[in-house]
C-alpha cells in the first residue's frame, strides 16, 4: 500500500466521527483533501463546514459542500485534519502546508479533534520534522534570533505567504521534550502569530493508516 493509499484509508475511517446535523471543521493538506472527497458522499447529512484554509474551502465548494464563516458558527462537533508528526500522547507538529494558525483556531473551537495520518507520522519525540512558525513579516529577523537562542535553526520558507499575509520560519534541529512548555514559550515571542506545536490542545483521537489497517490511539 502506498502512503497516499494509507492517507485515503484513514480519511474514510474518519467519516465515522461525522455527526448528522452538525458543522464539521476541515483541515488542510493531502490527507485532509481525501477527507473532503469522502465527505462529499455524505454532504447532505451535515449542516456545513468551516475550512482551515482557502485551498480547503475551494475544494469543499467544488464538491458543493457548504463552507461557513467561523464567526457565524457557534459550535463545531468535530475537526478532522492531518499532521506532520504525532506522539502517542497525541501532541502534534502541524503547519507543513502553512495553514497552522487557522488550523489551531478551528481545533480550539471544535468539541473533538480527530487527527488522520499515515503511520510514518508517529514519532517518539517531536522535532525531526522542522517546526513551522507563522511570523509577522517585520518581526522575521528578531524571531529568528530568538529561535536560535533556543537551539533551533530557523529557515525562511521562500516564496510562501500564509492566508493571513504572514511568513513561515521552519525551525530545524529541535528535540521537543516538553511540547506544552515550548508551545507556550514560542507563542510568547513578540511577532510570533502561531507555533506549529499542537500540545495545549492536542488531538483527541489519532487514526493511523498502516499496512494492516487503521489503528486508533486516544
Ligand atoms: C497543513 C498541515 C497538514 O495537516 C500537515 O502538513 C500534513 O499534511 P499531509 O496530510 O499532506 O501529509 O498541518 O498546514
Contact assessment for residue 208 and residue 215, using Cβ atoms and an 8 Å cutoff: yes
Please list the active-site residues. 103
Taking the C-alpha atoms of residue 212 and residue 48, their distance in angstroms, rounded to an integer, is: 33
The average pLDDT across 96-120 equals: 97
Q: Would you state the cell numbers that stand for residue 130, as one nine-digit string?
A: 522542522
What is the whole-number distance in angstroms between the Cα of residue 73 and the centre of ligand 1? Answer: 24
**pLDDT for the residue 47:** 97
* CA 27 to centroid of ligand 1, rounded, Å: 8
What is the per-residue pLDDT across 24-53, written as a single tens digit (0 to 9) for each? 999 999 999 999 999 999 999 999 999 999
Work out the end-to-end distance of the chain between its first and last CA atoms, rounded to an integer number of angstroms.
25
pLDDT for res 157? 98
Nearest CA to ligand 1 atom 8: 29
- pLDDT range class, residue 180, cuts 50, 70, 90: very high
Nearest-CA residue for ligand 1 atom 10 is 31
- Mean pLDDT to the nearest integer, 188-210: 97
- Quick one: DSSP state of residue 99? -
Ligand 1 atom at shortest distance from the alpha carbon of 82: 4
| Ligand 1 pocket mutation pick from 84, 101, 163 by most atoms within 8 angstroms of CB | 84
Question: At 150, is the secondary structure helix, strand, or coil?
Answer: coil
Beta carbons within 8 Å of 140's beta carbon, 6+ residues apart: 156, 167, 169, 191
pLDDT tens-digit map of 120-179 = 999 999 999 999 999 999 999 999 999 999 999 999 999 999 999 999 999 999 999 999
pLDDT 10s digits, 67-98: 999 999 999 999 999 999 999 999 999 999 99
Q: What is the mean pLDDT of the chain?
A: 97
Q: Residue whose CA is closest, atom 1 of ligand 1?
A: 97
Q: Enumerate the β-bridge partners of residue 133.
A: 169, 195
Amino acid at each position: 500500500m502506498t502512503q497516499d493509499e494509507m492517507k485515503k484509508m484513514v480519511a474514510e475511517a474518519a467519516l465515522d466521527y461525522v455527526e448528522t446535523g452538525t458543522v464539521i471543521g476541515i483541515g488542510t493538506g493531502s490527507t485532509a483533501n481525501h477527507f473532503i472527497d469522502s465527505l462529499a458522499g455524505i454532504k447532505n447529512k451535515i449542516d456545513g463546514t468551516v475550512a482551515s484554509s482557502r485551498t480547503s474551502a475551494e475544494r469543499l465548494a467544488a464538491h458543493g459542500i457548504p463552507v461557513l464563516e467561523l464567526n457565524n458558527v457557534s459550535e463545531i462537533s468535530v475537526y478532522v485534519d492531518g499532521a506532520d508528526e504525532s506522539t502517542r500522547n497525541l501532541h502534534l507538529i502541524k503547519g507543513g502546508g502553512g495553514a497552522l494558525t487557522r488550523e489551531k483556531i478551528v481545533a480550539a473551537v471544535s468539541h473533538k479533534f480527530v487527527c488522520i495520518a499515515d503511520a510514518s507520522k508517529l514519532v517518539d519525540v517531536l522535532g525531526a520534522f522542522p517546526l513551522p512558525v507563522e511570523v509577522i513579516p517585520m518581526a522575521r529577523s528578531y524571531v529568528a534570533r530568538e529561535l536560535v537562542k533556543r537551539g533551533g535553526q530557523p529557515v525562511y520558507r521562500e516564496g510562501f505567504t500564509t492566508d493571513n499575509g504572514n511568513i513561515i520560519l521552519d525551525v530545524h534541529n529541535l528535540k521537543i521534550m516538553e511540547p506544552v512548555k515550548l508551545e507556550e514559550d514560542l507563542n510568547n515571542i513578540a511577532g510570533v502569530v502561531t507555533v506549529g506545536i499542537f500540545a495545549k490542545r492536542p488531538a483527541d483521537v489519532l487514526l493511523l493508516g498502516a499496512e494492516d489497517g487503521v489503528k486508533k490511539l486516544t
